[in-house]
Chains A and B, each alone.
Chain A
Amino acid sequence: MKLFIQSAKLISKHSEFHNQVIDLYINNGKIEAIGNNLTPPEKVNIYTHNNLHISAGWLDLGANFSDPGNEHKETIESGINAAAKGGFTAVAISPATEPPIDNKSIVQYVKNKANGAIVDLLPMGAISKGIHGIELAELFDMYETGAVAFTDGKASVQNPNLLKTALLYCKAFDGLVINYADHKDLSHKGMMHEGEKSMHLGLKGIPALAEEIIVNRDLYLLEYTEGKIHFSTLSTAKSVELIKEAKKKGLRVTADVSAAHLLIDDSYLDEFDTRFKVQPPFRDKSHIKALIKGLKDKTIDVITSNHVPEDIEAKKREFDHAAFGIINLQTAFGAANTALKGKLELEEIIEKLADNPRRVLGLEPIQIKEGEMANLTLFSPEENWKLEKSDIASKSKNSPFIGMELIGKPLGIINHNQIVYS
């Protein structure tokens, strides 16, 4: 396959063409030529777009594909389609499937199912057997089979001894432990961010405290074990402060934030709209401000989709009974870019989608230069657009962004000698 990308602004700090408008010729999956004003070879598909931008392929650190077990919500195939439409050339998927990804055969199942796809699927293994939070799963076995990190997904590890053990055990092979910070006794039966809004609605709140206490505890365990930890979907101001301090101390800690949580606050829940019921809960504006500051000062390394497909039966219910979660692979960039416009440079946003997630997982950064395999995302950062329900590639349609104006649109991806372009 021969592709020619014409007049695209390259966003890649590793490249000599960073921030320049370039042409790019890709032959058989490999970057054959890169430069200004190249002449397209004959019989080549030319791709261009108003204000086209190009960067290293994005990697999502936190999506759930519900496969195996809940294929009516998402399959690996539909998840890959959604990722491709969202500009992601790689996705690290949550082990919270049924059965969970807690042994090497399920790691293998996921890998096999995604074999040959344009999007690289990077399975994350469970920390505990069955995600029950009791016994350590066979982490090394899964690591050898290709698990890129270990997490119990949204089932935050409650037992400090289990987390300590996981952190220590992973040191043998420099494995990465990821925890979602949520103290279950404090967030018990909580439905939304605890604040003025939850009080007005009579909904039980999830206090910021429930997250911060676990972040704090985990940082103590990290210091003790001298291991490596990543926090997924931080949502509160104090969590950001705690991690900033820990990084200053030199602890091996990284963190991500969900893109939607940069844009949506708890006022969206006014009408008990279950599309906005999500874990962590959408917080108030002061927390959002702190998250954005944390992204700017590099306390928060990565922006994720926090993609959790749920079918309509799970969502169209009384608020207390509705499932948590939103789909967000297709809108992650739009949401983040809309929220961060004028606050972060575009290259800082792209760094948190492309380079940093790879660094967190210990993967090599993608080089955009002649002779390298093309692993690229094409996007238009100034374009206004709205997600229509008919555009959703996921099997589930639980997006809070349907009909909401976003700035910045992913246009397509190139990977493994394949292209998805809309």
Chain B
Amino acid sequence: MEKLSTRHLLGIKNLTRKDIELIFNTADNFKEIINRPIKKVPSLRDTTIANLFFENSTRTKLSFELAEKRLSADVVNFSASGSSVSKGETLIDTVNNILAMKVDVVVMRHPNPGAAVFLSKNINASIVNAGDGTHEHPTQGLLDAFSIREKYGDLSGKKIVIVGDIAHSRVALSNIYCLQKLGAKVKVCGPPTLIPKYISSLGVEVEYNLDRAIAWCDVAMMLRIQLERQTNVSEGNQVKLFPSLREYANMYGLTAERLNRLDHKITIMHPGPINRGVEITSEVADSEHSIILNQVENGVAVRMAVLYLLSGREF
């Protein structure tokens, strides 16, 4: 059986193109399976997986849990807010406690960048990073690329623009790495205050004008504007990074009117949850060019593939 070059999935940065293709080919099989009347396979029977969510998440958690259950794994869930951890029990203690209960794989969402790397160095289990702050969210990056591949067959030469809060996104880096490894061209678009100063070192171009960005692209990935970024200004002399949601929606909201002005059709993606009427209007989100719900469906298949490949089990 083909194997991944890594024991953990901490980020896309360290995956090879071959790894990504292996995950996609495996996900193709699982996608076929989950569309059968009986969606469950015994591949991970007797494998115990802990889902540790130190930060709120609805759909990622649900998607992982579904993936795990369809592989027949035993699943335990742990949720805690990041603040309770920073106040008292350390991450390493929390996780060691759970590992003492003989867990094979840990899926973790954590607010701090590097938390998954930290875990992989300190505990003996396969780690799947389900988002570590503003660092990486590899399974989201994979499922997004998988969804584009599904629509176009190949990513090579495809033009993709990522729009929105790049600086605080948990998925932007994973998306950029994944798309580039598969041969796509990537631009980022958003207000300059939400674009990291050194982003061009990754080989992506920066475009501040949404109309120009969508005129260029084949696919627009709209990122969620995190409302807390806009309002959490109580500390020190920190300032809002853009003045109002209204102004953001006017400048960077994807509307049918904007799309109608284009001379070609583009594909619309969004990792969810959507702020309807802010980064994207309902009309666009629900249109035939949107593959937002395909992303959700593919998320389960891609996560099944990742968990299966990391477990090292044979069919």
Mark A residues whose CB is within 8 Å of B: 184-185, 188, 191, 194-196, 198-204, 271-272, 313, 316-321
List chain A residues, Cβ under 8 A from B201.
Answer: 196, 199
Given contacts A199-B199, A202-B134, contact A188 B235 (CB under 8 A): yes
Q: A199-B199, A200-B173 are in contact. List 5 more A-B contacts (CB 8 A).
A: A199-B201, A203-B134, A316-B122, A320-B133, A321-B112
Provide the bound-state CA to CA distance between A272 and B91, in Å. Answer: 15
Q: In whole angstroms, what is the CA distance A317 to B92 when docked?
A: 8
Interface CB pairs A-B, < 8 A, 10: A188-B235, A191-B113, A196-B201, A199-B202, A202-B133, A313-B90, A319-B112, A320-B111, A321-B86, A321-B112
A113–B176 Cα distance when bound, in Å, is 57
Check if B182 is an interface residue, CB within 8 A of chain A.
no
Evaluate whether A271 and B117 lie within 8 angstroms (CB atoms) in the complex, with A184-B236, A188-B238, A202-B132 already known.
yes
Structural contact, B86 and A202, CB atoms closer than 8 A: no
- Interface membership of B149, Cβ < 8 A: no
A201 surroundings in chain B (CB, below 8 A): 113-114, 135
Alpha-carbon distance A183/B122, docked complex (angstroms)? 35
Verify A202–B236 contact, CB threshold 8 A. no
Q: Is the interface of B mostly helix, strand, loop or mixed?
A: loop
Known A184-B236, A202-B173, A320-B133: A196·B114 in contact at CB below 8 Å: no
State A372–B173 Cα separation when bound (angstroms).
63
**In the complex the two chains form, is B135's CB within 8 Å of A202's CB?**
yes
Residues of B within 8 A of A191 (CB): 113
A318 touches B112 (CB 8 A): yes
Interchain CB contact under 8 A, A318 and B110: yes
Q: Closest residue to A319 on the B side, CB-wise? A: B114
Tell me, in angstroms, the Cα distance from A188 to B117 when the chains sit together: 24
Is the beta-carbon distance between B117 and A272 smaller than 8 angstroms? yes
Interface membership of B159, Cβ < 8 A? no
Whether B114 lies near A272 (C-beta < 8 A) is yes
B115-A318 in contact (CB<8A) = yes
Which 7 pairs of residues, A with B, have the shortest CB-CB distance? A272-B114, A202-B135, A202-B134, A202-B113, A320-B112, A318-B112, A196-B201
Contacts of A196 in B (CB 8 A): 198, 201
* Whole-angstrom distance between the Cβ of B93 and the nearest chain A Cβ: 11
CB A53 to nearest CB in B, in angstroms, measures 40
Which of A195, A198, A320 has the most chain B CB within a 10 Å cutoff? A320
Question: CB-nearest residue of chain A relative to B92?
Answer: A316
Measured CB to CB, the closest approach of chain B to A72, in angstroms, equals 17
C-alpha gap A272/B113 in the complex (Å)? 8
Cα of A199 to Cα of B202 in the assembled complex, Å: 9
